[in-house]
Amino acid sequence: MNTTTTPPGRALLQDHVDARTVAAETDAAADRNTIVQLDPDHPGFRDEEYRARRNQIARIAREYEPGSPVPDAPYTSEEHGVWRAVWEALEPAHARHACAEYLACVGRLKLPRASIPQMREVSARVEALSGFRLEPVAGLVEPRVFLESLASGVFLSTQYIRHHSTPLYTPEPDVVHEIVGHAVTLASGRLAELNRLVGRAVRRTSSAAELERLSRVYWFTVEFGVLREEGRVKAYGTGLLSSAGELEAMHSAELRPLDLEAASRQEYDPTHFQPVLFCAGSFEEMYEALREYLLRRS
């Protein structure tokens, strides 16, 4: 995997089905001002300023009251530059590889290209379009908590951005993935509906095995779904749409017909480009198949 061109890396995206990301409290003997723990191989591990800013952002989420406006994150000019660099790579990739529904949502949401938008701004725009809102999280959230929140029209989102030394790579989900991937797709009424149905189906699960099956369906559709438009393979999955590298790599994957029962049994590795993707014949086919599948479980 070319880690200079793809976000997923070692841990990205698994947050949505295995646990939300990577801000945790240290023990009592540690520095009380340190909230975020980064692995030694994280690009920002030795950058004290970046770690301090990550701690500030983590505290925003820890102190957040659900339903209230989300406080602004303290982004730097360097981090705004990272956002610009990501968009420079993604815009031409979207033009080639993104499905029409996603491109229409990009037009509706009108995200800035020059600077990172604040979550409160993006949340307000998305809520006006589909009723979904974004709420910040700072620490690990159980898979059931994350997925069930979708039933209420709430997307639990990180606010921090990847380290400036690797603008096209992150080992964890960041604001690029959350906004460029999830927030944009949640500006679609039909994709927002499917997210809600995922949450409702998860609420009805009574076993870890059932939750795992739904998590895999979520992975192979909402996160890494592809479909055909005018004879070409296009992406509607957020993990693909937030990474120029993943958008290119999807054309090397084994494409299987969309079969949600098969997807619910298909294992995956979030640390590499996906070798297997499930491809619908059209957006309408994907929407109807996934909606029916989830309604039977809601």
Is residue 272 annotated as part of the catalytic site, yes or no?
A: no
The angle formed by the CA atoms of residues 184, 188 and 190, to the nearest 5 degrees, is 140
The angle formed by the CA atoms of residues 127, 22 and 184, to the nearest 5 degrees, is 25
Q: Residue 144: CB partners within 8 Å, gap ≥ 6?
A: 202, 205, 211
Amino acid at 135: E
Cα–Cα distances in Å, from 231 out to 96, 278, 289? 13, 16, 20
* Active-site hit among 149, 242, 243, 264: 242
Nearest to 42 by CA among 137, 166, 140: 166
* Active-site hit among 101, 135, 178, 223: 223
Q: Which residue has the tokens 């820890």?
A: 62
Q: What is the DSSP letter of 98?
A: B
Is residue 230 annotated as part of the catalytic site, yes or no?
A: no
The 3-state DSSP class for residue 272 equals coil
* Active-site hit among 101, 130, 177, 215: 177
Is residue 177 annotated as part of the catalytic site, yes or no?
A: yes
How many other β-carbons are positioned within 10 Å of the β-carbon of residue 163?
23
| CA–CA separation, 59 and 195 (whole Å) | 27
Is residue 97 annotated as part of the catalytic site, yes or no?
A: no
* Active-site hit among 16, 94, 97, 182: 182
Which residue numbers are catalytic? 177, 182, 223, 242
